[in-house]
């Protein structure tokens, strides 16, 4: 289904590209964009190996943007808000199940340059926060400890280059948007600390002895990324 | 056409390279796939030391501060044994090294001393030993091959030993690696003498026990050859199994008891003139003393010029007093069979004077009575100096606290309690109800309290040894072991819980309450995320 939508969008773009020269210069009047994105990040911190076989799991997210202002005839400055998440999951030393989920929330600024009315290469920078949440669950039946959990916030930013393809209008003012973007995400290191997961029984939890946190060390989630955005402009 | 083809190939190459670059990912760091299993932890002063064999690493949990500090230190490859260093705040980790395989370089066996602060010292041993024995003040340690274990090598010499002087850094001559002379046997154990004067010089001897002979090594002169003493005739194939050595430090003499012999073996170390630089300046002479049937324990008493041995022989249901100077033996019949001797200084119900007395008892589950022996004039008064005290239940365990004037006995579970507290001065026994066996009990370092924990229970029990008041505290999980730690003015007890990532509860030994107790979880995962970078 997804491939059919993609094919139709590309087809519409190509058809539109066959129009007149004046049509090629026309600015698309669809300032808003809502998109779903998928992709991957290639992390280089080997500490992430504690959470599974791969350091580049799939990333999925949403973004919402608006064109701010036109700069000259061909350039457009836009802002966006993005959220995406990736999850690492695996076994740690044959004793524990390990899971790390990282959420990135950022505000971005992009500059698109229209080469054809439907084709816009762009550069984008963004900054925001990265939230990491980990869970370590003992696999042994004899273990009495329950799971260990911990979470941490840090700052992140990224910069990338991409190209956006916009389709002809359909259903009134709606247009399809497809973008491919690659770049690098820089995130400040996080010191990950864990503590036992709280019991569901509040009374039992309140009765527990105080437990001191343990630092598992620092984690850097910087790395190159590639993402594909599929969405609508309107 | 050629240009077009060339361009197409170039773009295809670029595209393929990009695809490979994007999809490629580094192999997972192998350290995250290694086992988390640990050796049983030990105390090193006010710290707890866990050793993780697969990681060749010790995790030191320093409990000297309210917030424990966790440090990780490297130890030798393939650690197999960790034990506290006697009389020092250190742990000793024996590692067998690495045989080497494709891509892995061989590494020699080693001994690592780990302090409470995480500092380490290491000595290379060479051979993959699997047993350690320390002398009384913790200065010397001998590494050897335990007879029951495989060496895990194509060839190994089970009579090889390595002696390490822990007060000296690794250097030529430390450790001293030797092969002890063998009459077909292998070492079964090692006993160290206290400092004793031999040939006019204070020194420490290591006594290697084999099936039918013992080997003496002079630790003060490791360059000198060892002395092997056969305890049986050459044609006698019996394995008499030497099991106990008592040293008379004033008279350069040692007394050996063997599990499969009715005799005691007396080795007097006589001064001789050494024939060469590697020859010894003493020579042992062997004498045998009859000691009843299957002697089970012995103790020395009396002054240096009137040294006597008290021996209990359960096979003949008697005790024997052997005058080592006059070479005479006095047999003292007992009403209750005994296999252990405890000498203590204290009063008796008939005399407030504190003097040396003996308690004779058996922990073999056959005797329900104990014998008090007045050692003064024992040879003339014999059984008149023996008082038997009935406990009403057989004894299978004992914990002696002579400095507090008590012995705690364990009994098979019964309605009248499974422990007895024997007052050595009053000669009375009080029952204490207990759900746990004495074998899991642990003393504080300063023996202020005795701590017990049932293997599957969440409660930690204790008896204050100053007033014998029992108490208990409920923790959050079943307790697998209890380790008292000490250091400075603090007195803490650590309860271990079952968790692969490490879980302990630290209890204040001076204020045993939940309010003063803290847990620490996950400390075996400390710096987990930094491990890959360290490679």
Check residue A233 and give its pLDDT. 93
Chain B contact set for A95 (CB, 8 A): 35-36, 500-501
Q: What is the pLDDT of residues A34-45, one digit of tens each?
A: 999 999 999 989
Please say whether the dihedral angle defined by the alpha carbons of residues B259, B260, B266 and B267, taken in this order, is positive or negative: negative
pLDDT band at A126 (very low <50, low <70, confident <90, very high): very high
Higher pLDDT, A129 or A18: A129
Check residue B12 and give its pLDDT. 53
pTM: 0.84
pLDDT(B7) > 60: no
Which of A46, A94, A215 minimises the CB distance to B29? Answer: A46
Check residue B18 and give its pLDDT. 45
A50 at interface of B, judged by CB pairs closer than 8 A: yes
A210 at interface of B, judged by CB pairs closer than 8 A: yes
For residues A20-37, one letter each, b for 16 or more C-beta atoms within 10 angstroms of the residue's C-beta and e for the rest, the string is eeeebeeebebeebebeb
- Residues of B contacting chain A (CB within 8 angstroms): 22, 25-26, 28-29, 32-36, 54, 67-68, 70, 475-478, 497-501, 503, 505, 514, 517-523, 525-533, 535
Q: What is the mean pLDDT of residues B459-467?
A: 86
What the block records as the tokens of B194 is 């206290």
Least confident of B28-37, B88-97, B247-256: B28-37
B505-513 long-range contacts, CB within 8 A, separation 24+: B505/A209, B505/B475, B505/B476, B506/B63, B506/B68, B507/B460, B507/B473, B507/B475, B509/B444, B509/B448, B509/B449, B509/B484, B512/B462, B512/B471, B512/B473, B513/B473
- Give the best-scoring range by mean pLDDT among A199-203, B113-117, B289-293: B113-117
pLDDT(B279) > 70: yes
Check residue B172 and give its pLDDT. 86
pLDDT band at B91 (very low <50, low <70, confident <90, very high): very high
DSSP alpha helix (H) spans, chain A: 2-17, 21-24, 202-207
pLDDT(B16) > 50: no
Check residue A16 and give its pLDDT. 45
Q: What is the mean pLDDT of residues A60-83?
A: 94
pLDDT(B4) > 60: no
pLDDT band at A15 (very low <50, low <70, confident <90, very high): very low
Q: What is the DSSP string of B44-95?
A: ETTEEEEEEGGGTEEEEEE-SSSS-EEEEEE--SSEEEEEEPTTSSEEEEEE
Chain B contact set for A50 (CB, 8 A): 32, 528-529, 532
pLDDT(B9) > 60: no
Decide if B411 contacts B422 (C-beta within 8 A). Answer: no
Least confident of A79-83, A92-96, B181-185, B468-472: B181-185
Q: Quote the strand ranges of B375-502, DSSP E.
A: 386-390, 397-401, 406-410, 419-423, 428-432, 442-443, 449-452, 459-464, 469-474, 481-487, 490-496
pLDDT(A206) > 60: yes
ipTM value for the complex: 0.82
Decide if A120 contacts A94 (C-beta within 8 A). Answer: no
Check residue A84 and give its pLDDT. 96
Which of B22, B28, B475 minimises the CB distance to A226? Answer: B22
Decide if A153 contacts A187 (C-beta within 8 A). Answer: no
Q: What is the mean pLDDT of residues B77-85?
A: 95
Q: Which of A48, A141, A217 to mutate to test the interface with B (most CBs of B within 10 A)?
A: A217
Sheet arrangement for strand B386-390:
B340-348, B351-361, B369-374, B386-390
Q: What is the mean pLDDT of residues B164-182?
A: 88
Check residue A199 and give its pLDDT. 86
Q: What is the mean pLDDT of residues B111-132?
A: 93
Sheet arrangement for strand B459-464:
B442-443, B449-452, B459-464, B469-474
pLDDT band at B492 (very low <50, low <70, confident <90, very high): confident
pLDDT band at A23 (very low <50, low <70, confident <90, very high): low
pLDDT(B457) > 90: no
Least confident of A216-225, B6-15, B303-312, B383-392: B6-15
For A166, residues 6+ apart whose C-beta sits below 8 A from its C-beta are A13, A28, A30, A117, A118, A119, A120, A175, A176, A177, A178, A233
Q: What is the pLDDT of residues B203-238, one digit of tens each?
A: 999 999 988 899 999 988 888 888 999 998 888 888
Check residue A1 and give its pLDDT. 45
pLDDT(B437) > 80: no
Check residue A14 and give its pLDDT. 45
pLDDT(A26) > 80: no
Cα distances from B368 to residues A178, A185, B325, B412, in angstroms, run 90, 77, 35, 11
Check residue A22 and give its pLDDT. 53
Which of B519, B522, B532 minimises the CB distance to A46? Answer: B532
Q: What is the mean pLDDT of residues B49-74?
A: 92
pLDDT band at A146 (very low <50, low <70, confident <90, very high): confident
Check residue A30 and give its pLDDT. 86
Check residue B533 and give its pLDDT. 52
Interchain CB distance below 8 Å, B530 and A44 = no
Q: What is the mean pLDDT of residues A64-91?
A: 93
pLDDT(B447) > 80: no
pLDDT band at B338 (very low <50, low <70, confident <90, very high): very high
For residues B339-353, one letter each, b for 16 or more C-beta atoms within 10 angstroms of the residue's C-beta and e for the rest, the string is bbbbbbebebeeeee
Which residue from A minimizes the CA distance to B518? A210
Q: What is the mean pLDDT of residues B504-524?
A: 92
Q: Which of A48, A137, A152, A215 to mutate to test the interface with B (most CBs of B within 10 A)?
A: A215
Least confident of A14-18, A61-65, B129-133, B288-292: A14-18
pLDDT band at B104 (very low <50, low <70, confident <90, very high): confident
Q: What is the pLDDT of residues B17-56, one digit of tens each?
A: 444 444 445 577 878 888 889 999 999 988 999 999 999 9
Interchain CB distance below 8 Å, A96 and B521 = no
Check residue A172 and give its pLDDT. 84
Q: What is the mean pLDDT of residues B318-340?
A: 92
The mean of the pLDDT values for chain B is 86
pLDDT band at B253 (very low <50, low <70, confident <90, very high): very high
């Amino acid at each position: 289904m997804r491939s059919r939508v993609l094919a139709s969008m590309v087809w519409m773009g190509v058809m539109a590209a066959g129009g007149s020269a004046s049509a090629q210069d026309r600015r698309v009047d669809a300032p808003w964009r809502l998109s779903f994105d998928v992709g991957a990040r290639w992390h280089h911190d080997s500490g992430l190996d504690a959470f599974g076989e791969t350091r580049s799991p799939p990333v999925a997210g949403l973004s919402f943007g608006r064109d701010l202002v036109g700069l000259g005839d061909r350039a457009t400055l836009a802002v966006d808000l993005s959220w995406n998440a990736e999850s690492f999951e695996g076994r740690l030393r044959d004793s524990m199940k390990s899971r790390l989920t990282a959420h990135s929330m950022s505000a971005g600024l992009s500059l698109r340059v229209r080469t054809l009315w439907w084709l816009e290469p762009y550069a984008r920078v963004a900054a925001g926060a990265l939230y990491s949440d980990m869970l370590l669950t003992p696999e042994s039946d004899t273990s009495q400890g329950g799971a260990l959990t911990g979470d941490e916030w840090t700052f992140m930013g990224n910069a990338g280059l991409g190209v956006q393809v916009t389709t002809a209008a359909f259903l009134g003012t709606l247009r399809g948007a497809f973008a491919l973007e690659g770049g690098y995400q820089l995130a400040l290191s996080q010191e990950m600390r864990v503590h036992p997961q709280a019991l569901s029984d509040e009374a039992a939890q309140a009765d527990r002895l105080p437990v001191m946190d343990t630092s598992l060390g620092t984690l850097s989630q910087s790395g190159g990324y590639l993402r594909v955005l599929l969405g609508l402009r309107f | 056409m050629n240009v077009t083809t060339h361009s197409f190939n170039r773009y295809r190459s670029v595209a393929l390279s990009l695809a490979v670059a994007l999809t490629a990912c580094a192999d997972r760091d192998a350290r995250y796939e290694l086992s988390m299993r640990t050796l049983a932890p030990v105390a090193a002063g006010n710290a707890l030391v866990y050793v993780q064999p697969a990681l060749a690493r010790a995790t030191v949990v320093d409990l000297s501060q309210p917030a424990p500090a966790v440090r990780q230190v490297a130890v030798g490859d393939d650690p197999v044994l960790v034990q506290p260093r006697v009389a020092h705040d250190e742990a000793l980790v024996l590692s067998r090294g690495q045989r080497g395989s494709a891509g892995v370089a061989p590494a020699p066996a080693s001994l690592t001393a780990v302090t409470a602060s995480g500092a380490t010292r290491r000595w290379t041993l060479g051979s993959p030993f699997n047993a350690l024995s320390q002398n009384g003040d913790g200065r010397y340690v001998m590494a050897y091959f335990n007879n029951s274990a495989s060496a895990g090598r194509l060839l190994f010499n089970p009579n090889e030993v390595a002696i390490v002087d822990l007060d000296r850094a690794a250097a030529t001559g430390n450790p001293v690696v030797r092969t002890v002379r063998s009459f077909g046997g292998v070492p079964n154990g090692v006993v160290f003498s206290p400092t004793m004067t031999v040939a006019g010089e204070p020194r420490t001897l290591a006594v290697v026990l084999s099936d039918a002979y013992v080997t003496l090594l002079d630790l003060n002169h490791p360059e000198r050859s060892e002395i092997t003493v056969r305890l049986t005739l050459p044609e006698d194939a019996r394995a008499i199994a030497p099991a106990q050595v008592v040293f008379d430090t004033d008279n350069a003499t040692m007394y050996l008891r063997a599990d499969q012999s009715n005799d005691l073996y007396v080795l007097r170390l006589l001064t001789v003139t050494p024939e060469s630089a590697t020859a010894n300046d003493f020579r042992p002479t062997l004498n045998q003393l009859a000691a009843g049937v299957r002697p089970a324990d012995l103790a020395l008493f009396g002054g240096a010029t009137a040294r006597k041995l008290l021996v209990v022989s359960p096979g003949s249901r008697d005790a024997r007093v052997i005058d080592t100077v006059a070479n005479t033996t006095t047999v003292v019949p007992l009403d209750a069979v005994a296999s252990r001797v405890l000498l203590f200084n204290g009063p008796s119900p008939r005399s407030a004077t504190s003097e040396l007395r003996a308690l004779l008892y058996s922990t073999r589950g056959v005797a329900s009575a104990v014998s008090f022996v007045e050692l003064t004039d024992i040879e003339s008064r014999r059984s008149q100096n023996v008082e038997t005290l009935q406990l009403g239940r057989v004894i299978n365990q004992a914990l002696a606290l002579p400095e507090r004037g008590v012995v705690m006995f364990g009994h098979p579970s019964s309605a009248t309690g499974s422990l007895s507290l024997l007052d050595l001065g009053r000669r009375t026994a009080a029952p204490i109800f207990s759900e746990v066996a004495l074998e899991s009990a642990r003393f504080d370092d300063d023996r202020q309290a005795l701590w017990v924990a049932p293997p599957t229970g969440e409660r930690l029990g204790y008896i204050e040894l100053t007033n014998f008041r029992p108490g208990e505290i409920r923790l959050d999980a079943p307790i697998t072991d209890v380790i008292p730690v000490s250091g400075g003015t603090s007195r803490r007890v650590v309860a271990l819980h079952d968790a692969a990532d490490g879980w302990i509860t630290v209890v204040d030994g001076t204020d045993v309450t939940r309010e003063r107790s803290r847990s620490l979880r996950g400390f075996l995962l400390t710096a987990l995320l930094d491990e890959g970078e360290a490679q």
